[in-house]
């Protein structure tokens, strides 16, 4: 026997469902329904003088009802919009039996039910285009009520706007907030525009493995799983770069992939653990060529979606028209931070970062320090599309050494509205140099850098065969979609974003005093719990204090809490037995 409890409204709907069945009507019929029109076309093209749309058949969801005795109105929503439908008892029930109108329509149907209607289109006395219904069919009975959004004179009440609820209940979100569907339609158009551009240049779209024995191609922490039959640890890919390069070695001139990638890292309004990116590699090209190709492609995307290169992103109007501004990384840091770091070593960079108020720790090498300075002091100020070029070699283990600038590599990132949009290289194809750089990454890993790259022997053996000079690029589709749809959060452009588990009221949570007794400042306790360390036992499971310090300081900075920064040594003191 079911132990599920229902709200009053849910129980009423279940009772209505039972009554509909008792009347011999299937509330979930199997047969196809013969739709011949959609609301949008009727509203755009109906002309009373031509008397068109006199035999229409639509289907959709009831979004509002006005019952007025023997005549009533509903608002029907289909995939293209909403239209009013007029129900008159004697039109629906021409004989003596008025059950379909008096009982089924008036008493047993609810907002949220999906029905099909047949009839003719007309204009009401107040001039609203409507469907005069001659026949209706129940297609799906809703047994869970929708939020009722009230609108009058341009004002809205009881709107379903809470982000947490919207993301967890995306189906409901799209029903009551139809503009949400438009965002995802735009996202698909964006991907189609890029695909059309790349296919027009005759590059080959490919697929590469998601489950990988070694994760590589980016600096990130992976998700780990286990293959039972092979008794082998596998990783969800963090990038598809190395596999695509192996295809270049195999003889393709240009390959690209729209890939699902996974990174076992934090979540915020710009990052989701599962995300989409497009990577492309083209032979006999360099990063200068790739800059021009990318800005041409994004200009096309803007035109295809908006009919203009100018796109509103938050408070800023972004113009994607070519050519974009170009600055070297050192030029950008000097321009926005007021300091020339081009000749600094690791120790001086560490001290400079601290003077600039940038949070750093002892695990960071030269490349990571430069990246932190740039990310804190320069990147947020780059609003209009800008290419940041010529990165230090320590930051780019897969990029070719600069042809004329010692210690730099031929790499660029496209920055728009203060955020990275793409990352590209003149790809490193010297196998000896590549092996040395992987080995340097292994050293960083031993120092505690969990984002250091792993040495991939299969990839190294492939480029030992000889890889042509190649330009490569990766672009984050989710972030590009955010910009092109003026969406505030990455969750707004993902149908089903990853969400934190709902709090289990039965789960034990350590008291604030228990944390304080370990030497943890009271103001940091809510942050620890928000990051999942809800008990002292969970906190004691942490193996790397430096990583926890980074996570805590990162949360503090992103959420502008204003708490005093934590050192790895301080955090290590909390974890002592």
pLDDT one-digit tens code per residue, 460-479: 999 999 999 999 999 999 99
Q: Residue 382 is encoded by which pair of tokens?
A: 């780059």
Give mean pLDDT, residues 275-296: 98
Please write the tens of the pLDDT for every residue from 313-323: 999 999 999 99
Could you tell me the fold of the domain covering 181-324+384-493? BirA Bifunctional Protein; domain 2 (3.30.930)
SS3 of residue 404 by DSSP: coil
User: Which distant-in-sequence residues (6+ apart) come within 8 Å of 444 by Cβ?
Assistant: 365, 452
Is the pTM here over 0.85, yes or no? no
Architecture of domain 8-146: Beta Barrel (2.40)
Mean pLDDT value across the chain: 91
Structure tokens at 178: 């139809």
**Residue range 81-101: mean pLDDT, rounded:** 95
Q: How confident is the model at residue 1 (pLDDT cuts 50, 70, 90)?
A: very low
Mean pLDDT of 51-67: 95
- The predicted-structure confidence for 181-210, as pLDDT tens digits, reads as follows 999 999 999 999 999 999 999 999 999 999
Q: Give pLDDT tens digits for 489-530.
A: 999 999 999 988 876 545 567 888 888 888 999 889 888 887
For 198-273, list the strands marked E by DSSP: 204-205, 211-212, 224-227, 232-236, 254-262
What pLDDT digit, counting tens, does each position of 157-174 carry?
Answer: 556 888 888 999 999 999
| pLDDT for the residue numbered 505 | 46
- H/E stretch holding 27 reads none
| In the predicted structure, residue 127 carries a pLDDT above the cut 60 | yes
Percent of the chain with pLDDT over 70: 95
pLDDT of 219? 76
pLDDT over 90 at 416, yes or no? yes
- 576: buried, middle or exposed (CB in 10 Å: 19+, 13-18, 0-12)? exposed
- pLDDT over threshold 90, residue 64: yes
Query: What tokens were used for 221?
Result: 């922490």
| Start-end of CATH 3.30.930.10 domains in the chain | 181-324+384-493
Within 10 Å of residue 333's Cβ, how many Cβ atoms?
24
pLDDT at 56: 97
Question: Which has more confidence, 307 or 448?
Answer: 307
Residue for token digits 């002309």? 47
pLDDT at residue 153, rounded to an integer? 61
On the question of pLDDT at 13 being above 90, the answer is: yes
Report pLDDT digits (tens) over 221-271.
899 999 999 999 999 999 999 999 999 999 999 999 999 999 998 888 888
Per residue in 318-338, pLDDT (tens digit) is 999 999 999 999 999 999 999
CA distance 2 to 453: 52
For the chain, state the CA radius of gyration: 30
Torsion of CA 351, 357, 363, 364, to 10 degrees: -80
pLDDT in tens, 373-400: 999 999 999 999 999 999 988 888 778 9
What does DSSP assign to residue 500? P
Please, where in the chain does CATH 2.40.50.140 lie?
8-146
What span, in angstroms and rounded, lies between the C-alpha atoms of 141 and 115?
8
pLDDT over 50 (residue 60): yes
The Cα 159–Cα 164 span in angstroms is 14
Structure confidence at residue 567 as a pLDDT band (50, 70, 90): confident
């Amino acid at each position: 026997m079911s132990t599920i409890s229902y709200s009053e409204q849910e129980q009423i709907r279940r009772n209505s469902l039972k009554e509909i069945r008792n009347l011999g009507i299937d509330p979930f019929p199997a047969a196809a329904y013969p739709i011949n029109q959609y609301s949008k076309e009727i509203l755009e093209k109906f002309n009373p003088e031509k008397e068109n749309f006199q035999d229409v058949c639509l289907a959709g969801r009831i979004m509002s009802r006005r019952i007025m005795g023997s005549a009533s109105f509903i608002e029907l929503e289909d995939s293209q919009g909403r239209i009013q439908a007029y129900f008159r008892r004697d039109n629906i029930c021409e004989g003596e039996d008025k059950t379909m109108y008096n009982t089924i329509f008036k008493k047993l149907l609810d907002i949220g039910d999906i029905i099909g209607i047949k009839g003719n289109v007309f204009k009401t006395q107040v001039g609203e285009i409507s469907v005069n219904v001659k026949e209706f069919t129940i297609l799906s009975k809703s047994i869970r009520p929708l939020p009722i959004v009230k609108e009058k004179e341009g004002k809205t009440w009881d709107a379903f706007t809470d982000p947490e609820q919207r993301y967890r209940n995306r189906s409901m979100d799209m029903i009551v907030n139809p503009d949400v569907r438009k965002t995802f339609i735009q996202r698909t158009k964006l991907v189609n525009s890029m695909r059309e551009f790349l296919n027009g240049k005759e590059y080959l779209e490919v697929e590469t493995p998601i489950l990988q024995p070694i994760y590589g191609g980016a600096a990130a922490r992976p998700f780990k799983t286990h293959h039972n039959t092979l008794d082998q640890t596998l990783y969800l890919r963090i990038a598809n770069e190395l596999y695509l390069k192996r295809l270049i070695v195999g003889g393709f001139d240009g390959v690209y992939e729209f890939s699902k990638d996974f990174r076992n890292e934090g979540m915020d309004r710009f990052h989701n653990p599962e995300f989409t990116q497009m990577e492309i590699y083209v032979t006999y090209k360099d990063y200068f060529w790739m800059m021009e190709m990318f800005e041409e492609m994004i200009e096309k995307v803007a035109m295809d979606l908006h009919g203009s290169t100018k796109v509103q992103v938050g408070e800023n109007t972004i113009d994607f028209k070519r050519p974009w501004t170009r600055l070297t990384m050192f030029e950008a840091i000097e321009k926005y931070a007021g300091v020339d770091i081009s000749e600094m070593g690791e120790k001086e960079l560490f001290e400079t970062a601290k003077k600039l108020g940038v949070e750093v720790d002892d695990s960071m090498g030269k490349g990571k320090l430069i990246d932190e300075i740039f990310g804190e002091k320069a990147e947020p100020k780059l609003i209009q599309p800008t290419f940041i070029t010529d990165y230090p070699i320590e930051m780019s283990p897969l990029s070719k050494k600069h042809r004329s600038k010692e210690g730099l590599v031929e790499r660029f990132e496209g920055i728009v509205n203060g955020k990275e949009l793409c990352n590209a290289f003149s790809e490193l194809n010297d196998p000896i140099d590549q092996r040395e750089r992987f080995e340097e990454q292994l050293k960083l890993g031993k120092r505690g850098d969990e984002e250091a790259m792993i040495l991939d022997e299969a990839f190294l053996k492939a480029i030992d065969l000889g890889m042509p000079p190649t330009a490569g690029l990766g672009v984050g589709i989710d972030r590009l979609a955010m910009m092109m749809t003026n969406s505030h959060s990455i969750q707004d452009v993902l149908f089903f974003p990853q969400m934190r588990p709902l709090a289990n009221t039965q789960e034990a949570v350590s008291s604030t005093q228990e944390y304080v007794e370990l030497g943890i400042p009271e103001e940091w306790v809510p942050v620890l719990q928000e990051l999942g360390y809800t008990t002292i036992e969970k906190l004691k499971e942490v193996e790397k204090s430096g990583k926890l310090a980074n996570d805590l300081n990162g949360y503090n900075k992103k959420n502008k809490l204003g708490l005093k920064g934590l050192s790895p040594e301080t955090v290590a003191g909390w974890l002592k037995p």
